[in-house]
Amino acid sequence: MVEFLTWVEDSALGEMMRGLGVWSYGLFNLAHILGIATLFGSMLIFDLRLLGLWRRIPLRSVAAPTLPLAVAGFVLAAGSGTCMIATNAIDYSDNPFLLIKFPAIALGVLNAIVVAKLPAWQAVTATDAPAQREPRALAISGGLSLAFWLTAVASGRMIGYW
Ligand code: HEM
């Protein structure tokens, strides 16, 4: 872990970030927060729909705006976060919240990939008819997704307090 973080800090990205000037870290942090807000806000609506809220709105009508926004937010958060961590990566070497945050992000992404492959997802999104009840597999995935993203946000916020 320390070797990897040393490599990240010594990288060309790390050097570039440290040379950018006094406002740069704050601006990347702002981009990070905007990315997180976009990702988490979109996933909150989508996951609550999977859990059975707003059943009269077809699932694919909820997915159409929320999923592309979630992907855009993720790309912004991951890009800005990589730049931020490269600035002073070694400082995070004994930070336990890093070891909670990154597995939670990986599980959140993995869960989204699994949901898209579920037969229940394919069946429900093939129609605009309102569902009486969503398949249990989709509700479970929605609950898991909320737990993973909440853990990522909470542990990300805690990193700075260690
Ligand atoms: C490759 C992906 C990511 C990297 C490398 C990364 C890295 C970082 C770094 C270095 C910080 C600053 C920690 C500090 O010293 O205070 C941070 C803050 C934070 N990150 Fe990330 N992050 C990534 C993705 C995400 C994602 C996907 C989320 C949420 C779903 C997230 C949530 C947070 C939160 C809530 C903060 C605290 C922001 C603040 O209060 O200023 N991060 N991240």
Residue 153 C-alpha from the chain's centroid: 8
Output the residue whose Cα is nearest ligand 1's atom 43.
81
Atom of ligand 1 nearest to the CA of 88: 10
5, 32, 155: residue to mutate for ligand 1 pocket, most atoms within 8 A of CB = 32
* C-alpha–C-alpha distance, residues 81 and 102, integer Å: 11
3-class secondary-structure state, position 53: coil
Contacts of residue 1, defined as CB under 8 A and 6 or more positions apart, other chains included, come to 93
Q: Which helix (H) or strand (E) holds 8?
A: helix 2-10
Q: How does pLDDT run across 137-160, given as a tens digit for each residue?
A: 999 999 999 999 999 999 999 999
Q: How far is 129 from 59, CA to CA, in rounded Å?
A: 9
Q: How confident is the model at residue 64 (pLDDT cuts 50, 70, 90)?
A: very high
Locate the domains of the chain by residue range.
Answer: 2-159
